[in-house]
Each structure stands twice: as structure tokens, then as C-alpha cells.
Amino acid sequence: MSKRKVTKKDDSESNSKQAKLDFDAKPKGTWMTIGNDDLYIYTPNEVVHRSKVAGFDIDGTIIKTKSGRTFAKDENDWELLFPEIPAKMRQLHEDDYKIVFFTNQAGISKGKTPLPAFKRKVEAICSKLPVPIQVFVSPGTLKYRKPYVGMWEHMETEGNGGVPVDRSQSVYVGDAGGRAANGARKKDFSCGDRMFALNLEVKFATPEEFFLNKPAEPFTRPVFDSRKLLDTPSELFDPATTVMPSTKQEVVVMVGFPGSGKSTWAERYLSKGYVVVNRDTLKTWQKCVEAAKKALKEGKSVIVDNTNPDKESRKRYVDMAKESKVDCRCFVMTCDYDQALHHVKFRNIMGTDKEHKDVNEMVLRMHKSKVQEPTLAEGFSEIVKVNFVPDFKAGSDAQKIFRMVLVEK
């Protein structure tokens, strides 16, 4: 990934002069693209890099549509959310905050929002506010998308003129706070902004709290909490007395969501007399059956590392085991939809799941709709539940990222 470092003079004399500039005229700045259109950054020429950061979402936080529509009809369909915003921005600037906007804009990558038009919109919004504002735009769904902290971290390391950021003195404001509907205000579409601040460990406020001094409201955070897995680990198997690998030749049928950890679990038994077959490498279930039969004839055990959500997909392997006169056990990953979605996003951020790039929310929902809980009546000799037991080095980057909230809803 290519990066260009932003450098600015940060001596006190230069900053003092910048702070006294009149920003009534339209600010001029530069746009930068990071990586393969992974991140767009707008930096005004008058930017003042500081240790305290006041971060804001844009849509529903700084602006709303003039038309009243949920999504703007064009680049001009916007107005400031509250008349109090300009004065608040000026006060923040005078209180030595650097003001930065962080916005997810998946419509750009999907071709629904023209990039040139959106850039003009950003510049127009900034021109209505009396202070210099740096803007980070994430068009994708990977490491720069909130609630993950990639945009903020890039600002700290590459976009703040070498000035260290003090998160304990910083704040983030956004409308995606996980709140229920309240009067004319609709239910928040997600909890992504609140979780973004939580991941950063910076103070969070909704636009109403920050600009209008409204009291805080109850909120609902995403269901899955990865911290519980790390802080209260479970036994790998249920029942805990499960023997694996078996002392006898067998067929093991895996059942679980994409991203639930099936492949990682199965690979540990490659050196213990098992052959692992899956559609990721063989492409069709027919080829999986052929490969499994071949392994059984050679006296090896087989692990079928597919999602196998329903009776029909499992039956072909149960029948094959019967024909070969070997046991067939079913190992079910306890990972549910919400946890699987967290795993998928974690792997994408870490860049460790290149073989499963096509796994997205739609794929997970399709699997969920097909799930039929396996039973012994299908012909299994045993059904074992496999819990996800994290194995991260304490304090590692991987552990820190896994602990974060990576799902918006």
C-alpha cells in the first residue's frame, strides 16, 4: 500500500499565525489518496496540527439533507444540522482542538456516489465553517471503515504533522449511537460511531448532546462482545471428554458458519492421520465426496471442512461412512451469526483470510437461513460442540484488534 506522509510546520509561531487567520473565505486545500482508493484525505492549507482532536461524523452530525430525504439527491442537497455548529467549531479551535471529520462513504466504492461530486461537497461544507477542518473519507469496508480505528490511526501517524495525539483529551461526535427513536428523530441506523469512540478510548457524544447540551440517552450496542471470549475462555469441546483425534478410522463432518474457525480447527489434525476436504479448494461437493472416499480406501480418516448447514448436505457423508463401515461424528462450531461476522471483519483487517474474500454479510445470512441443527437420528455416532478458544499473544496487535467492536449493528 502506497503512502505519502503529510508534513506541516508545527512550530509555535506558525501555529499562532494560523490560528488568527480569517476563515470567512472559502478555504483551499489538497486531496490525497491512500493505497488503491482505500482512503481519501482533504487537508486545508490552514490546518493546525494539535494534540487534542475533536472528531466528527458528517452525515446526521454536521449536516442533514435539505430535501428531508434519508440520502442526499445530489451534492447540493445539504444544510447544517444545527445553527449552533459554527460557533461551537470556533470555540473548539480557540480551545486548541484540531477539528477532523471521519466519514464512511461506501456509496463511492459502489458507484452510487461520484467521487468528484463528493469532494466538492466536502469542500463546500468546510467553507461554511469558520475553522480549518481535515477530512478523512473511507469508501470501502475494510481497515479504514468505522467502527474500526484505521482512519483515526492514519491521522495520528501520517496526518497530524508529527504532533502526538492525546486521546484522553480528545472527543468524537457522531449520530450512529445505537439509540432508539425519540420524537421526530428516527432510530439510529447503527451504533458504529459510538463503537468507533469506544475502540479509540476517546470520549463520545451524540450531536444533540454535544451541540445542544441534551442529556445522554440509553443505547444498545452490538450483540457480540469479543471481550467475553478473551476474558472467560471455554473448554474446546462440549462434552469436555471428547477424544480427538480418534483411535479409530472415522469421518468427521463439520457444521458451522463461514468464518467460524472450522478450517483453522481442522488443519491441526492434518498431521494426525486425517485428510481435510473442503469446497474452497475442491470447488464442488461431488469432488469432496470423491476425495473423501479415496482417503477412506487408503485407511485414513476424513474431516469434511464445509459449512454443511442442512441434513441434505450432511447425509452424503453419513452414507459414505456407513458404506465404508466407519464411524461418523459431527463437530458443530458454536459460533453464531454475530460472532462469525466479527471473525470475518477481523480477518479482513488482519489480511489473513485471502482465500475467503467473498464472505460477506449476505453469505452469512444465507447460511443462517439454511441451518438445521444436526441430530443423532441423522446417523452420527456423536455430536460434539466446538467452542472458539482464542489463542492470541497477550498484548499483541491481533489481540487488541480482536477485542474491538468491528460490527456496526
The one-letter amino acid at 303: I
CA pair distance 226, 403, nearest whole angstrom: 5
Instruction: Check whether residue 25 and residue 160 sit in a common domain.
Output: yes
Sign, CA dihedral 201-206-211-214, equals negative
- Number of structural domains (the chain) is 2
Secondary structure (H, E, C), 19-54: HCCCCCCCCCEEEEEECCCCEEEEEECCCCCCCEEE
The one-letter amino acid at 261: G
Q: What is the pLDDT of residue 42?
A: 98
Sign, CA dihedral 217-221-227-228, equals positive
What CATH number is associated with residue 43?
3.40.50.1000
CA pair distance 404, 346, nearest whole angstrom: 9
Q: Which residues pair with 53 in a beta bridge?
A: 98
Q: Is residue 348 part of a domain?
A: yes
Q: What is the pLDDT of residue 141?
A: 76
Q: What is the pLDDT of residue 20?
A: 39
Q: Is residue 222 part of a domain?
A: no
Q: Is residue 225 part of a domain?
A: no
- Residue 304: CA atoms inside 13 Å, Cβ hemisphere, count? 35
Helices (H) and strands (E) in the chain, counts: 15, 15
Instruction: Check whether residue 235 and residue 207 sit in a common domain.
Output: no
Q: Is 272 helix (H, G, I), strand (E, B) or coil?
A: helix
Q: What is the pLDDT of residue 10?
A: 41
Q: Is residue 223 part of a domain?
A: no
Task: Please list the pLDDT of the chain residue by residue as tens digits (409 residues).
Answer: 334 444 333 443 334 333 334 444 454 899 999 999 999 999 999 999 999 999 999 999 999 999 999 999 999 999 999 999 999 999 999 999 999 999 999 999 999 999 999 999 999 999 999 999 999 999 987 889 999 999 999 999 999 999 999 999 999 999 999 999 999 899 999 999 999 999 999 999 999 999 999 999 999 999 999 999 889 888 999 999 999 999 999 999 999 999 999 999 999 999 999 999 999 899 999 999 999 999 999 999 999 999 999 999 999 999 999 999 999 999 999 999 999 999 999 998 988 766 555 678 899 999 999 999 999 999 999 999 999 998 888 889 999 999 999 999 8
Q: Are 149 and 356 in contact (CB under 8 A)?
A: no
Instruction: Check whether residue 242 and residue 119 sit in a common domain.
Output: no
Instruction: Check whether residue 251 and residue 318 sit in a common domain.
Output: yes
Q: Is residue 137 part of a domain?
A: yes
**DSSP at 381:** S
What CATH number is associated with residue 259?
3.40.50.300
Instruction: Check whether residue 101 and residue 151 sit in a common domain.
Output: yes
Among 212, 245, 261, residue at a domain's last position? 212
Q: Minimal CA–CA distance to 104: which of 56, 170, 68, 49?
A: 56
CA pair distance 289, 291, nearest whole angstrom: 5
Q: What is the pLDDT of residue 351?
A: 83
Q: How far is CA 354 from the centre of its chain?
A: 16
Q: What is the pLDDT of residue 270?
A: 93
| Rg value, the chain, Cα | 26
CA pair distance 296, 117, nearest whole angstrom: 61
Among 150, 181, 212, residue at a domain's last position? 212
Instruction: Check whether residue 267 and residue 379 sit in a common domain.
Output: yes
Q: Is residue 32 part of a domain?
A: yes
Q: What is the pLDDT of residue 6?
A: 41
**DSSP at 176:** -
Q: Is residue 296 part of a domain?
A: yes
Instruction: Check whether residue 175 and residue 281 sit in a common domain.
Output: no
Instruction: Check whether residue 203 and residue 235 sit in a common domain.
Output: no
Q: What is the pLDDT of residue 357?
A: 57
Q: Which domain holds residue 310?
A: 231-403
Instruction: Check whether residue 264 and residue 363 sit in a common domain.
Output: yes
The one-letter amino acid at 3: K
Q: Are 17 and 134 in contact (CB under 8 A)?
A: no
Q: What is the pLDDT of residue 354?
A: 60
Is the bond preceding residue 83 a cis peptide, omega within 30 degrees? no
Q: Which residues pair with 29 in a beta bridge?
A: 44
Q: Is residue 166 part of a domain?
A: yes
Instruction: Check whether residue 173 and residue 270 sit in a common domain.
Output: no
Q: Minimal CA–CA distance to 222: which of 406, 42, 57?
A: 406
Among 184, 212, 240, residue at a domain's last position? 212
Place of cell 441423522: 378
CA pair distance 153, 31, nearest whole angstrom: 18
The three cell numbers locating residue 275: 485428510
Instruction: Check whether residue 200 and residue 347 sit in a common domain.
Output: no
Instruction: Check whether residue 69 and residue 18 sit in a common domain.
Output: yes
